Structure 1
Amino acid sequence: MIDVSLVLLKHRRILLDELIGLTGLNREVLLGKLKKIKEYVRIDDDEVVIVKPLDLAIHLLKQGLSVKEISRYIDWSDFEKVSAEILNAHKYFVKTNFRLTKPVKLEIDVIGVDPRSGRGLFIDCKHWSRGIHRSALVEIVDKHVNRIEKFIKYYRWARDKWVYFKYLREIIPVIITLTTPSLRYYKNTLIVSIQEFNQVLLDLYTVLDLFNIEPYRLDVK
C-alpha cells in the first residue's frame, strides 16, 4: 500500500478521490490518516493540499522513512522557502535566488541580512538521496566559499542589485541540509540541518564562538 504522505509530497495537491484511488484506502480511513498530519496539509472542498512539504518530510524521517525515498519528492526550493521564512521571523531582510551575471557569474540560494549588526548569512541549500560523506561536504563548502569570495571581490557590481546590501558588513556562509550533517563547520562555514536552523539563529553568537568561525569581512568603502 502506498504511503499517503509520500503521495502528497509527490503531487503537492490532489483530489480526495484520486488519493483514495492511489492509496487503496477507503474515505473514512484516509480522512483519519490526513487528520494525523493536519499541521502539514489542508483540505479545500475535495482537494488535499500540502502546505508544509519540508516539515512533512522531516516528520516522515522521524517516523523512520528513508532519506532516499523522501528526497525524491523534495528539492532545493523547499529548503529555500523554509530558510527564508525562518530568516524573516528573525527580522532579517531576505533575498532568494540572487544572481550576478557580470563581470562574473554567481548565484546564492538565500541571502539574509540583519540591518542591526550588518551580518549577512549566505545560504546554499542542499539535499541528498543518501548520507553524505565528509569529503563531499568539504567539496560543497569549497564551492560555496568560492562564490562568497567572488561576491566580495566584485561587490561594487553586486551592491546595486538589492537595496538591503547597504546594511551588509560581514558574511557568514551557511550550508543547509535535510539531515544532520557529519561535518559541522569548515572554512568559516556553518553546516546545519533545516531542523536546527531556527535554534542556530537564536544562539548565533554562541555557535560562532563554539566553532571559532570568523565572518568574511566586506570592504564597503
Structure 2
Amino acid sequence: MALPLAAVAAALLGTREDCVTVDELAARLFLRPGLVRAALEKLAEAGGLELDSDRACVVERIELALAAVRLGVPETVVARGLDWRMFEEYAARALSEAGFEARRGLRLHGRGGLELDVLGLDRAGGLAVAIDCKHWSPRISTPSRLRAAAAQHRARVEKLAAHWRRLGLPGGKWRIVPALLVLRESAPRLVEGVAVVPASRLRGFIEELYVLAEEPAIHVVKLKA
C-alpha cells in the first residue's frame, strides 16, 4: 500500500499543534499507525520534522512543506497549510543566513504608497533584492496572473528606488533585483524582467544573486549615490 504522505503532511501543516503522537494522528486520519509512522519517517528524513518513538514534532512548517513537495505531495495540498507570514519569515531568514541584511514589511503611506514584503541588502557589494511573496495555490498561479504580478512588482521596485531614502534605507550606489517568491516548482524562471523563485530554490537563488544581477533579461533597478 502506498504511504499516505499527502494526508499526513496536510494534517501536520493544517494544525496549530507543534507535536502529535503517532496514534493520535492515525486516529484523526482513520489510518493504521504503522502506515502513519512510515509516512512520518519519510517526512522526517526530508526535513522540517522530528520523530521519536511515538511522537512527531514540526520544527519548521515551511521546511516541512518544501520537504513534502519534494516527496511528491501535490503543491495544492501543501499550499493549504501555509500562509503569507511563513513565506516572509522564510525569505528573511534565508537572506540573513546568506549574510544579507533582511528587512520585512517596508511601508510608505499616503497617496501612491508602497508596500514591500522583504528586502535583502548586501552593503559591501551594493546589491539588494526586493522580494514579493506570493502565497498562491498552484491552481490559481496562471500565466496571466503571474505576468500581472511581475509587472506590478517591477513598478513597485521602481517606486522603491524613488523613495529609497524616505524609507530610511542606506545611501550609496545600489542595484536592486526584483523577485517573486512562489510555491510552484514549475514556475517560469523569469517573467516581465522579474525573477520567479520557487521557495525550494530560494537559497540557491540568493547564492547566485550577483551573477543573476548581470543578466540583461533581469530588470535591475540602479540607484545612484
Aligned to 2:43: 37
**1:140-162 CA-partner distances (Å, limit 9, x unpaired):** 01111222222222333212xxx
- Give yes or no for contact 1:170–1:217 (8 Å, CA) kept in 2: yes
Aligned to 1:218: 223
- Give yes or no for contact 1:68–1:128 (8 Å, CA) kept in 2: no
Quick one: which of 148, 170, 178 aligns to 1:139?
A: 148
CA displacement at 1:11 relative to structure 2: 0.7
**Distance between the aligned counterparts of 1:80 and 1:140, measured in 2?**
17
Deviates more, 1:30-39 or 1:111-120: 30-39
1:51 to 1:192, Cα distance in 2 relative to 1, 3 A? same
Q: Aligned letter for 1:194?
A: A
Determine whether 1:196 maps to 2:201.
Answer: yes
In the TM superposition, 1:1-221 aligns within 5 A as 3-13=7-17, 14-16=19-21, 18-25=24-31, 30-38=36-44, 39-42=47-50, 48-102=56-110, 104-131=112-139, 132-159=141-168, 165-166=170-171, 169-210=174-215, 212-220=217-225
**Distance between the aligned counterparts of 2:187 and 2:15, measured in 1?**
31
- Give yes or no for contact 1:181–1:192 (8 Å, CA) kept in 2: no
**1:124-171 CA-partner distances (Å, limit 9, x unpaired):** 011322353322211001111222222222333212xxxx53466221
Q: Aligned letter for 2:59?
A: V
Tell me the secondary structure at the aligned position of residue 217 of structure 2.
Answer: coil
1:73 to 1:97, Cα distance in 2 relative to 1, 3 A? same
CA displacement at 1:108 relative to structure 2: 0.9
1:94 to 1:24, Cα distance in 2 relative to 1, 3 A? same
Q: Aligned letter for 1:79?
A: F
CA displacement at 1:30 relative to structure 2: 3.9
**1:16-62 CA-partner distances (Å, limit 9, x unpaired):** 25423312345565444433322322369986432222222222223
- Structure 1: tracts of 5 or more residues without a match: none
- Give yes or no for contact 1:133–1:182 (8 Å, CA) kept in 2: no
Pairs aligned (count): 216
- Structure 2: tracts of 5 or more residues without a match: none
Give me the CA root mean square deviation.
2.8
TM-score by length of 1: 0.82
TM-score by length of 2: 0.81
Q: Aligned letter for 1:98?
A: L
**Distance between the aligned counterparts of 2:185 and 2:58, measured in 1?**
24
- Give yes or no for contact 1:113–1:168 (8 Å, CA) kept in 2: no
- Give yes or no for contact 1:176–1:194 (8 Å, CA) kept in 2: yes
